[in-house]
Structure 1
Amino acid sequence: MPVTVTDPAELDLSRYVRPGDTVVWGQACGEPLTLTEALMAQRAAIGGFRCFLGIPASRTVRPEHGDVVEFVSYCGSGGNKKLYSAGVLDVVPSHYSTLPQLLSDGSLRADVVLLQVAPADADGRYSLGMADDYVSAAIPGARVVIAEVNDQVPRTPGDWMPTAADFDVVVPTSRPPAELPAREVPEQTRRIAERVAGLIDDGSTLQFGIGALPEAVLAQLADRTDLGVHSGLLNDAAADLMAAGVITNARKSVDRGRSVTGLLMGSRRLFQFADGNPSIQLRGTRYTHDPSVLAAQDRLVAINSAVEVDLTGQINAEVAGGQYVGAVGGAVDFLRGAARSFGGKPIVALPAVAGGASKIVGRLSGPVSTARCDAGFVVTEYGVADLRGQPLKVRQERMLAIAHPDQRPALEAAIDNAGVLV
């Protein structure tokens, strides 16, 4: 049986975390706040160790913690931007589908896993509540698993429902989980969302990423019927469509009747909707991003964003202005899955301009996160470019047509000077 620490103030993590260890916890709303706050507060007593971070929804981890802790992540999103700018975060450019292997027995193998779970039911089964995602893959190989049992975490049906035997330490708490509420949608984003929504038919199964754009797309779908969800995350906007009967999952070819997701990423409204809801199922990354599962899902529409796209369809989703702000993440996994899906649509959406600079470019200013051979639909507020199966010259023409009108002359000049971009 696990050790139970009834008073979190008495939790001494130096008994469990050793110098040189790698510590992993659930990202975003799945962060076990009591445990991560204690870990940062006790870092000096523990000695140097490494933490693998996902997208943060809290301000628990700060640049000053880099005095002892080595931080590594798959992304530069959210609060990770400050860590990266301060020089205390390193980034592993990784497809999301490969994270489970890296965390279980690869270069990022977890020694200690910190979990946030909902209390056990009558059968002694806990719920991962907010996040299965990649964190469950890290558990089998870990030396220590510490569970924060929070009675304010929703009990969400999942693929894996642990028992006390799966934990080494249990810390009961009662506190609101971290939230990522929806943000106000700018007019430019709304126009892009309208273009994307025009590509989504009744009966489609949706994948969507984090941020205002996916939420704005979902807000445009109230008149659709029998949509489904198979996505790395579930947000407030998706919960609203489920409550309204728009998302029913009735026409999914895989996991019919259920919205499958790796984690909940939203506000208390989402958490309350998910609590005990049998139409939502948490699954691990090995399933949510499995190429065979995605390909078998008919009419899979993958909606992802980018920092910039060049005139041939190469996509940079990682670096802007020399700063690491995004990720390779699950975009390629889902774009390829949607491309193989019967009736599927791989979509990348972005503004034509941001901060006065064109996001449709002659040459990428950062890395190629997604190769042009994986490009499908590229959407801006000025239109939709279908690049599927198109040669380079046609791609250039279609990408020019969705660039900002003021930027098109410079892009045309780049083509005249370089010919077909290679």
Structure 2
Amino acid sequence: MAPIVCTSALEAVSLIQSGETLWTHSMGATPKLLLNALAEHALSRQDLTLLQLHTEGAESLSNDNLKGHLRHRCFFGGMPTRRLLQQGDADYVPIFLSEVPKLFRSGEQKIDTAIIQVSPPDKHGICSLGISVEATLAACQVAGKIIAHINPQMPRTHGDGFIHYSKIAAVYEESSALPQHPLAASDAVSLAIGNNVAELVRDGDCLQMGIGAIPDAVLSCLGNHKDLGIHTELFSDGVLNLVELGVVNNSKKKVHPGKIVTGFALGSQRLYDYVDDNPSVIFMDIEQVNDTAIIRKNPNVMAINSALQLDISGQICADSLGTKIYSGVGGQMDFIRGAGLSEGGRSVIALPSTASGGKVSRIATVLSPGAGVVTTRAHVHYVVTEYGYVNLRGRSLIERARALIDIAHPDFREQLCRETFDMWGLSV
């Protein structure tokens, strides 16, 4: 059955009725035109729930006038939802990223409408989810109806992200630029962390990393490595630079050798042009990308992640600032566990030693009240700051404390030693 072809984004989202649970395509494929229209349409509806991961440029849906009309239910927080989450006007669901598709496919979380952004259909009538497959493929498979923005600027990508035009209920077509994230500028701290992490990367490793100043700095320090592979939830320009240098060739991988495996891409137009119709880059369902059983099949997996805070026993908080939700659980534990089970695998938590302009130590004696433990102290392996790196695997609590204080900012080391003695009665 052919979809309704709409002349405006508002006409397309008008199919949404009160009480519906919606899913929105996320990351760089956030259907901003449809979501802006939804912000207007929702005012004539009641009790809409919008499920989402991180969205780009969807601030219109965070307007206070939408209270009672639309409420966000976030598996990951970002700029458009962070304020709402922190003031109690949106809901946060802690969950491993790998399990979000399972939540949909099992029926535990119903979806009435999926709102997506896709490429135009090819000669076979197939559209591509483009630069962001993540959990959207699963959402489309279970949704009662699909509303799509067809964007000629959306790359056609290889892998899992295909949907037939006939499966869509309503379409609106308009050419629109995708959000871009240029490489972060490296400051002295990020570059020092990058160099420290690079010392832990070995030739032939299979890398996972995120986006931001620290991952970009790490990637910029790997130019002299060889035969690196990529199996990661997020693919960015820093990886593309290493591909062009021949450093990344995916030759040592056992899962999809010779190919980059990812769940979504976010970067420059150069990156989007690279992944367009490129069979060497596979965009897969995040249930597969982040499956620990699949990750561990590659040897020498190197998982590189960050944190907001950690305590001297090794507990990692990555989703909140105390009780205030900042981001989400994401795929950190998926990959840390996968790397830990991989032959020769390692994981790294890399973070600056301080926050708030140097006023606060990110390495604390205990986590802030209400802080969420994303990675347990039983899973943590390497921790890296600008002052060095330490290996916590197999270390006792007191050995961990001594090691972490050594890579804390010098201004806080004496205080950490004193607090540790007061807490455990042991001198570090």
Normalising by structure 2, what TM-score?
0.94
3-state SS of 1:139 partner = helix
Q: Which residue of 2 aligns with 1:11?
A: 11
Question: Retained in 1: the 8 A contact 2:130–2:161?
Answer: no
The alignment status of 1:257 with 2:258, answered yes or no, reads yes
Q: 1:327 to 1:9 in 2, by over 3 A?
A: closer
Task: Report Cα offsets for 1:230-277 as digits up to 9, x if no partner.
Answer: 111111111222222221111111110111111111121211111111
- Within a 5 Å distance, the mapping from 1:232-247 to structure 2 comes to 232-247=233-248
User: Aligned partners of 2:409, 2:137: CA distance in 1, in Å?
Assistant: 44
1:61-210 to structure 2, matched below 5 A, reads 61-64=61-64, 66-67=66-67, 68-210=69-211
Which residue, 354, 362, 373 being the options, matches 2:365?
A: 362
Separation in 1, partners of 2:376, 2:84: 28
Q: Is 1:276 the equivalent of 2:281?
A: no
Distance 1:344 1:66 in 2: 47
Query: Cα deviations across residues 100-156 of structure 1 (Å, max 9, x unaligned)?
Result: 122334553221101111122222222111111011111222111112211001111
Query: What is the alpha-carbon distance in structure 2 between the residues aligned to residue 12 and residue 201 of structure 1?
Result: 50
Give the 3 Å change call, closer, same or farther, for CA 95–394 of structure 1 in structure 2.
same
Off by >6 Å, runs of 4+ in structure 1? none
> Secondary structure of the equivalent of 1:175?
coil
Structure 2 distance, partners of 1:65, 1:253, is 51
Tell me if structure 2 keeps the 8 A contact 1:33–1:60. no
Tell me the SS of whatever aligns to 2:134: coil
Give the equivalent residue in structure 2 for 1:411: 416
Question: CA shift at 1:306, angstroms?
Answer: 0.4
SS at match of 1:11: helix
Among candidates 384, 394, 398, match of residue 399 of structure 2: 394
- Letter in structure 1 aligned against 2:220: A
Q: Which amino acid in structure 2 is aligned with residue 331 of structure 1? A: Q
Q: TM-score, normalised by structure 1?
A: 0.95
Residue-pair matches, total:
420
* C-alpha distance in 1 between matches for 2:72 and 2:10: 26
Structure 1 residues 129 and 160: CA distance shift in structure 2, 3 A:
closer
Work out the CA distance in 2 between the residues paired with 1:55 and 1:9: 21
Q: Which runs of 5+ in 2 are unaligned?
A: none
Partners in 2 of 1:80 and 1:157 — Cα distance? 31
1:10, distance to aligned residue in structure 2 (A): 5.8
The one-letter amino acid of 1:32's match is P
Deviation for aligned residue 1:383? 0.9
SS of residue paired to 2:296: helix
Residues of 2 paired with 1:359 and 1:391: CA distance?
21
The structure-2 alpha-carbon separation of the partners of 1:46 and 1:342, relative to structure 1 and needing over 3 Å to count, comes to: same
8 A contact 1:115–1:145 mirrored in 2: yes
Q: Is the 8 A contact 1:156 1:282 kept in 2?
A: yes
Taking the aligned partners of 2:90 and 2:374, their CA distance within structure 1 comes to 19
What displacement does 1:294 show?
0.7
Amino acid across the alignment from 2:361: S
1:10–1:291: structure 2 CA closer, same or farther, 3 Å change rule?
Answer: closer
Q: Which runs of 5+ in 1 are unaligned?
A: none
Q: Which amino acid aligns with 1:49?
A: L
Of 89-98 and 331-340, the range deviating more from structure 2: 89-98
Query: d(CA) in 2 for partners of 1:209 and 1:12?
Result: 34
Match for residue 315 of structure 2?
314
Quick one: distance in 2 between partners of 1:10 and 1:110?
20
The answer on 1:36 being equivalent to 2:35 is yes
Deviations 1:190-221 (A, max 9, x none): 11111111111111111112322111111111
Residue matched to 1:305: 306
CA distance in 2, matches of 1:342, 1:65: 53
Do the aligned partners of 1:226 and 1:251 also contact (CA within 8 Å) in 2? yes
Q: Distance in 2 between matches of 1:43 and 1:277?
A: 38
State the partner residue of 2:50.
51
What are the within-5 Å matches in structure 2 for residues 348-359 of structure 1? Answer: 348-355=349-356, 356-359=359-362
Deviation at 1:227, TM superposition (A): 1.1
Q: Report the secondary structure of 2:178's partner residue.
A: coil
**176-185 vs 192-201, greater mean Cα deviation:** 176-185
Q: What fraction of aligned residue pairs are identical, expressed as a percent? A: 33
CA distance in 2 between partners of 1:124 and 1:9 (Å)? 21
How far apart, CA to CA, are the structure 2 residues paired with 1:326 and 1:262? 18
1:384 to 389, 399, 416: 389
Tell me, in whole angstroms, the C-alpha distance in 1 between the residues paired with 2:314 and 2:76: 22
Is the 8 Å Cα contact of residues 130 and 156 (structure 2) preserved in structure 1?
yes
Q: Which amino acid aligns with 1:45?
A: S
Question: Which SS does the other structure have where 2:224 is aligned?
Answer: coil
Give the Å deviation of 1:185.
2.3
Aligned residues of 1:120 and 1:126 also touching (Cα < 8 A) = yes
1:184 partner amino acid: A
